[in-house]
Amino acid sequence: MAADLILGKEVAEEVFVDLRKRIDALKAAGTLPGLAVILVGEDPASQVYVRNKVRKCEELGMRSVKIEMPASTTQEELLAKVAELNADPAIHGFLVQLPLPKHIDEKAVINAIDPAKDADCFHPVNVGKMLIGEPDFLPATPAGVMEMLKRRGIQTAGKHAVVIGRSNIVGKPMAAILMQRGVDATVTVANSRTENLPEITRTADILIAAVGKPGFVTADMVKDGAVVIDVGTNRIDDPSSPKGSRLVGDVDFEAVKEKASWITPVPGGVGPMTICMLMANAVRAAERASR
pLDDT of residue 35: 97
pLDDT of residue 244: 86
The 3-class secondary structure across the chain, one letter per residue, is: CCCEECCHHHHHHHHHHHHHHHHHHHHHCCCCCEEEEEEECCCHHHHHHHHHHHHHHHHHCCEEEEEEECCCCCHHHHHHHHHHHHHCCCCCEEEECCCCCCCCCHHHHHHHCCHHHECCCCCHHHHHHHHCCCCCCCCHHHHHHHHHHHHCCCCCCCCEEEEECCCCCCHHHHHHHHCCCCCCCEEEEECCCCCCHHHHHCCCCEEEECCCCCCCECHHHCCCCCEEEECCCEEEECCCCCCCEEEECCECHHHHCCCCCEECCCCCCCHHHHHHHHHHHHHHHHHHHCC
Predicted TM-score (pTM) of this structure: 0.95
**Each residue of 6-55: pLDDT tens digit?**
999 999 999 999 999 999 999 999 999 999 999 999 988 889 889 999 99
Q: Which of 56, 81, 118, 120 is catalytic?
A: 120
pLDDT of residue 232: 95
pLDDT of residue 159: 98
Catalytic site includes residue 97: yes
**Each residue of 110-155: pLDDT tens digit?**
999 999 999 999 999 999 999 999 999 999 999 999 999 999 999 9
pLDDT of residue 43: 86
pLDDT of residue 1: 64
Q: Which of 97, 117, 230, 259 is catalytic?
A: 97
Instruction: State the pLDDT confidence band at 254, using cuts at 50, 70 and 90.
Output: very high
Q: Is the pLDDT of residue 160 over 80?
A: yes
Catalytic site includes residue 230: no
Catalytic site includes residue 220: no
